[in-house]
Amino acid sequence: MVKGKNVILGVTASIAIYKACDIIRRLSSEGFSVTVVLTAEAEKFIQPVLFQNLSGNKVYRGIFDTPEAWEIEHVSLAEKADLVLIAPATANIIGKIASGICDDLLTCVCCATRAPVLISPAMNENMYKNRITQDNIKKLKSLGIRFVEPIKGRLACGRVGVGCLAEVETIIKEVKNIL
């Protein structure tokens, strides 16, 4: 039973961001507590209040935001997590995590957590198949980070190719398998 398990949902700036709403709804209906960490770029697509209303929890954004109570947020979020799920995950966030770059709240949480990390990429097919992106994914997999692979579908550019966020049901199933 997953009741009471804490999922930190990292949301990055992909056109598939709207599916994060469905992920929150589904995880919540399965008994998970969902806390969203939103990258600054993702805020250009969607406002944090939507995720707050869906999850019932505060949405965390900037690493230097003033906390409501004194705490080192990236560490407290990392310790709270039973799982860190990044969906949708851009090539940028995958590259930063693979390189150990901690320049935003989400990358700091990933670096500080001992919980499993599950990444579900969503990007243009050329970006996904790029050798650098594939090397970053291979590196992260070798370090124990799990992936829900993207699927073939209509991309933001209008072409059909691999790079669409996996089906929400597939992502939820993998979260439940891990926890």
| Active-site residue list | 157
Q: How many residues does the chain have?
A: 179
Which residues have a Cβ under 8 Å from the Cβ of 140 and sit 6 or more positions away? Answer: 94, 97, 98, 119, 147
Single-letter residue type at 114: R
Compute the distance between CA of residue 174 and CA of residue 168 in angstroms, rounded to an integer.
10
Q: Is-cis flag, bond preceding 121, omega within 30?
A: no
Could you give the CA distance from residue 88 to residue 142 in angstroms, rounded to a whole number?
A: 21
Considering only CA atoms, which of 132, 135, 133, 124 is closest in space to residue 159?
Answer: 124
